[in-house]
């Protein structure tokens, strides 16, 4: 397996692999252009976004500035919206459904590291765990979605929450760590 295949599969991989380094550099160049393109040129910005993400549904939009690791491991459905300062660390797949709204400074993170300090510091490897967000979800400002989490359809995550475990559909959840507050 290549390091890229290991990365996407959730197997420890070496981020220093030349192919992965080149991929990160390529997306940083694209993001630099995307983040400098003003709202006065929305069609150009939409085309740039399609060249950054692996899949972009119809009428999807991310306000600049936006940051990601690779881009191609991100799939967003139709009518997706992310406000300013969004971050998606996509070493493993990040799959987002239709009609999802993200407030400013939302972070969706699939990148992680070993818990064992010796392995983390001396193995030279990193890990990824996929993130799945259903349809019609709202992530409030400053929400952090941690690696390996699934958020069910129509869930609402309160501002500033840190989502460390799966959230079921049709609930309002909030806090650090994020927990279900009530059914919707």
* Residues assigned a catalytic role: 113
Written as one string, the DSSP assignment of 16-83 is T-HHHHHHHHHHHHHHHHHHHS-GGGHHHHHHHHHHHSSEE-TT-EEPSSEEES-STTEEE-TT-EE-
Q: What are the b/e assignments for 78-105, b being 16+ CB within 10 Å?
A: ebbbbbebbbbbbbbbbbbbbbbbbbeb
Q: What are the backbone angles phi and psi of residue 117, rounded to the nearest 5°?
A: -65, -40
Question: Quick check: 11 and 95 in contact, CB under 8 A?
Answer: no
Q: What are the backbone angles phi and psi of residue 96, rounded to the nearest 5°?
A: -125, 135
* Token couple for 110: 């699939």
């Amino acid at each position: 397996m290549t390091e890229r295949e290991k990365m996407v599969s959730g197997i420890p991989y070496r981020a220093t692999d030349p192919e992965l380094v080149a991929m990160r550099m390529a997306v940083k160049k694209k993001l630099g252009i995307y983040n400098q393109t003003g709202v006065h040129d929305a069609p150009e910005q939409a085309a740039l976004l399609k060249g950054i993400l692996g899949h972009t549904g119809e009428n999807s939009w991310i306000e600049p500035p936006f940051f990601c690791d690779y881009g191609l491991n991100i799939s967003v459905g139709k009518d997706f919206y992310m406000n300013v300062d969004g971050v998606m660390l996509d070493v493993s797949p990040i799959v987002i459904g239709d009609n999802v709204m993200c407030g400013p400074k939302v972070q969706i993170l699939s990148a992680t590291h070993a818990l064992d300090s010796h392995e983390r510091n001396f193995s030279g490897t990193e890990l990824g765990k996929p993130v799945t967000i259903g349809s019609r979800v709202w992530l409030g400002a400053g929400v952090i979605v941690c690696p390996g989490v699934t958020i069910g359809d129509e869930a609402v995550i309160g501002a500033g929450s840190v989502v460390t475990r799966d959230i079921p559909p049709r609930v309002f959840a909030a806090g650090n760590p994020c927990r279900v507050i009530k059914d919707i």
